[in-house]
Structure 1
Amino acid sequence: MAESTTQRRPLTGWDKPELDLSNAQWQSGSNGLGDVQIAFVEGFVAMRNSGRPESPSLIFTPAEWGAFVSGAREGDFDLT
């Protein structure tokens, strides 16, 4: 079998863009009662701690965000 000539980068999970979040429209994840806020910026989803908005934000691709939301709806994160 011939070797592939395509060079692949390792999947590190950190290959996210540096987004300018200074003008992001942050929305609370739970009607203003929770600690999580999200913003849709340049085709990505940013998530931050509303109690510490200066701390780094997590950046998700649409596919990652969709998987998270589906898992939450299906109870994957419920405490037992």
Structure 2
Amino acid sequence: MNLPKFLLADNSQFPEDIFVLHTEFPRFVINLKDDEIEWFEDLSEENEEDIANELPSLIEQASQFYDDEMAQYE
């Protein structure tokens, strides 16, 4: 199955939160309300510096994805 790079996630237990899942490596879910990230990968063996350098771009892409998705509802 081919998955899109980003997916929106919703949970009624967290009505104020906005979750976006990143489905490619490194896989994670970000809460756009506070930019908190939960990693689905074990990153201990990966080069943390590379991921740290890539992270701002991934957060920006996740935010842009959300904005683009919400614009379709307006």
- Structure ID, larger Rg: 1
**TM-score (ref. length: structure 1):** 0.28
Name whichever structure is richer in helix by fraction: 2
**TM-score (ref. length: structure 2):** 0.29
Q: Which has the higher contact order (CA 8 A, sep 6+)?
A: 2
